[in-house]
Structure 1
């Protein structure tokens, strides 16, 4: 029996490292957590699953001192604790690595590890800090380059620095939020090995993920939240992806290959509706982010873009939607060369955009849900008529979009930042699909969504394709790309390594291309 399928056994009399007892947290109009009991044992990798808005993030924010519970208690190593800040939580051995890293880009790895750490020597040379960092990396089996600046690191390497920062501060419980979203399959395997080494010495990991296969591979037990309450805790060895999905959403979820076209679906056009021709583009820092990109998008097809996050996907999605200019090359839409970046013009041409950073690129966090829902149609009837803004019409349209997106909203006047990330994502997606008559550029549309919401999101994308729109689907989820795409372009360090037809795809080959390599171990030629 493999390591991933062995039943986890807790020696009799073993005390939990962490006990959450009767935890409750309330926000205006929302029950975030209610009567949640969870135990995390020494030597355990404990997964936490739940739909968007199920209360996972709130629960972990309570455990790490960001929020205080309205009811219940936290017990660490048998002692009741109250954390009023993350510093108190880390002092008690509870550390969290968030999905969005908090590193100082201008500093070296060693400097980031030692920044704000009470055990950092007062007067230490770079060589001393780097030697201390190297010793920590060896202790925890996390390979890092102590002298490298953060800007020189891949996303996977940056994640290892974040984990090492937490472990250096003597964390006994490591909380990871969607840790593999930024990793290649090979990097994910390396992370899993390091986590197993970490818990082998009696520590524990709380692993938050929406990837059910990976949860079953890495975890010993799984706790499922639904509507802020714990549905149950199961041994991973007794579960299947279908069982976990059913527990999460309360119904059976069928994930199918969506490449099939129903009768009456729009065919793939012979000529592209958009072409990128030898396109170059710079990132926000003025460095080259895209190099020599050639890509055609046809009506009625889904073009997948595979790659580890941070290899030019953000810039690619932005030049496709008019929010970033190019430094060289041509963008051709319907046979016409577009000479400048203009987001409003691209929307008028029927191009929608689900951005990678939904909160800051796709939304105005401090404005109301209504304003955010209708902003793409702000100048048009019925929202604006005769040059006059119609609040009632805007509110009605916002309610319509929320209904189709299957997002329950208690107050459309509240700031949209108050919604869960998954609900923000669904609203942005439905808003953009309304304007995407020609092309939808979807960057990580299922990121942060639960399995039921992912299925709904992808079904909407397929319906848009069937209606004749061209789709650019940027994702780090290979299974998602394989289930939807007609063709898959692999992006690495701003270059397209190759474009493969999705008929008989070699997943391992795509994984190698994502890392800039070929099966023979050589650097891939840029396609």
Structure 2
């Protein structure tokens, strides 16, 4: 059997945690190999070892049958190993070409940078693999899905044969996910081998040949994907049976908590991103917003939470006009917000978890008195949230937020927002990057929040999540409301058509 990569009995420790405990993974030439596990199971760490970001305490890595020591990502590149990280490593105000050649710049006559030659090569690669990337575009002007393709070309430009993709679909729209699957199949045809880190079972079934499962740092086993059901894979990953269906009673809507009246909000590019938008959310109901990414969802959320100025229209909370009040007052009046981007908007990455858990309430008793912080009260409060939401970290409340896996960062934010017991919870992509076990728990908590008579506004790109959790669904297209449907009376097809801008014809 030709293995391009063999990782044998790898052990990797960090302060307070054994991230990889004697794990073995083998990659055959020309296969797509899935690495499956819960948040914080040690998947990214194991691939970090292969990519030279970490040195293992024990174990052997072989590339094409030869034992190697991968002391840095540069060594990995030289061995033909490339990696696309979950949070991309791109310079925002550089062009695509500048980002791709960074660190391996082609020189003309020894000294002068030869950008044109690089751009030509990038165009060739882009065409060859069906990536459609514009070499001259700036990173800040292209979609997240495109940025990911830039990362893929960066590996191909460096002539990588083994490609590691870390949670590649977490940031993509359903359409982009299909395109990525095709790109991966093209790469395999060209003789590349791929390791995909994920916890989305549907995708593993769609593209992977074999799957290695790890749980809490230990290897559970490697199976053939064709011979394993989604339920089996889920059970291997979580260690118990997982329900994929959301259980909930019929909702009992009460008073209107949030009323949005003909709202206009400009987006980041100073163009009207949300136009004449009106919606009500009542106590005891979940209203889902469905739409393809970039159709005004974030402008709506930022308008309600106060992160962006409203051009015209009104936002009422329990009948009170909050259109122009400061953010802190909105939080005090009972708005909770699980933001779309956990790293930019959700956490201060270099603070401890303890500090992150009290960001909205540190100025209130028992956390402070006469302007002095009460560390003990903060610690107890944080500990409770971290336990309730099973947030796994090396050193508990004193762990620095940056050191947690993406999924655990997400759980910490959700725990913090639900702990405030807000009258209105705005949940944006609440389960982005979470594994099936955690998704099941978060869905339960959102339904529970609804059943406690609170209002929930859910914005998610996972259509089945919107359909399963929501009582009513508002569909947006191009910043405008296309229509509102009852979740129990609609299906993926109808909502999908409306998302594409086909309005629901009322038959009389």
- TM-score between both structures, scaled by the size of structure 1: 0.87
Shift of 1:419: 2.8
The CA distance in 2 between the partners of 1:391 and 1:145, in whole Å, is: 51
Partner residue in 2 for 1:23: 10
Task: Check whether the contact 2:11–2:22 (CA below 8 A) recurs between aligned residues.
Answer: yes
1:346 and 2:333 equivalent?
no
Shift of 1:25: 1.0
2:308 aligns with one of 309, 318, 324? 324
The CA distance in 1 between the partners of 2:260 and 2:400, in whole Å, is: 37
The CA distance in 2 between the partners of 1:156 and 1:375, in whole Å, is: 31
The CA distance in 2 between the partners of 1:363 and 1:124, in whole Å, is: 39
Q: How many residue pairs are counted as aligned between the two chains?
A: 502
Shift of 1:462: 0.4
Shift of 1:128: 5.1
The CA distance in 2 between the partners of 1:69 and 1:436, in whole Å, is: 43
Name the CA shift for 1:157/1:394 in 2 (closer, same or farther; >3 Å).
closer
1:161 and 2:150 equivalent?
yes
1:462 and 2:447 equivalent?
yes
Name the CA shift for 1:252/1:120 in 2 (closer, same or farther; >3 Å).
farther
Name the CA shift for 1:127/1:90 in 2 (closer, same or farther; >3 Å).
closer
Name the CA shift for 1:487/1:468 in 2 (closer, same or farther; >3 Å).
same
Partner residue in 1 for 2:229: 240
The CA distance in 1 between the partners of 2:89 and 2:376, in whole Å, is: 41
1:302 and 2:286 equivalent?
yes
Consecutive unaligned residues of structure 2, counting only runs of 5 or more, are: 504-508
The CA distance in 2 between the partners of 1:131 and 1:162, in whole Å, is: 17
Shift of 1:30: 0.6
Deviations 1:453-478 (A, max 9, x none): 11111100100001111111122211
Partner residue in 1 for 2:171: 182
1:225 and 2:214 equivalent?
yes
The CA distance in 1 between the partners of 2:77 and 2:493, in whole Å, is: 39
Task: Check whether the contact 1:487–1:501 (CA below 8 A) recurs between aligned residues.
Answer: yes
The CA distance in 2 between the partners of 1:120 and 1:290, in whole Å, is: 46
Task: Check whether the contact 1:182–1:309 (CA below 8 A) recurs between aligned residues.
Answer: no
The CA distance in 2 between the partners of 1:98 and 1:46, in whole Å, is: 17
The root-mean-square deviation of aligned C-alpha atoms, in Å, is 2.8
Partner residue in 1 for 2:506: none
The CA distance in 2 between the partners of 1:167 and 1:363, in whole Å, is: 33
Partner residue in 2 for 1:83: 70
1:361 aligns with one of 319, 342, 345? 345
SS at structure 2 position matched to 1:157: helix
Name the CA shift for 1:184/1:431 in 2 (closer, same or farther; >3 Å).
closer
Partner residue in 2 for 1:94: 81
Consecutive unaligned residues of structure 1, counting only runs of 5 or more, are: 1-13, 520-527
- TM-score between both structures, scaled by the size of structure 2: 0.90
Task: Check whether the contact 2:284–2:451 (CA below 8 A) recurs between aligned residues.
Answer: yes
Shift of 1:338: 1.7
Name the CA shift for 1:109/1:288 in 2 (closer, same or farther; >3 Å).
farther
SS at structure 2 position matched to 1:237: coil
1:392 and 2:383 equivalent?
no
1:419 aligns with one of 404, 416, 428? 404
Shift of 1:287: 5.0
Shift of 1:432: 0.7
The within-5 A match list for 1:456-495 is 456-495=441-480
1:197 and 2:181 equivalent?
no
Name the CA shift for 1:103/1:423 in 2 (closer, same or farther; >3 Å).
closer
Partner residue in 1 for 2:417: 432
1:382 and 2:366 equivalent?
yes
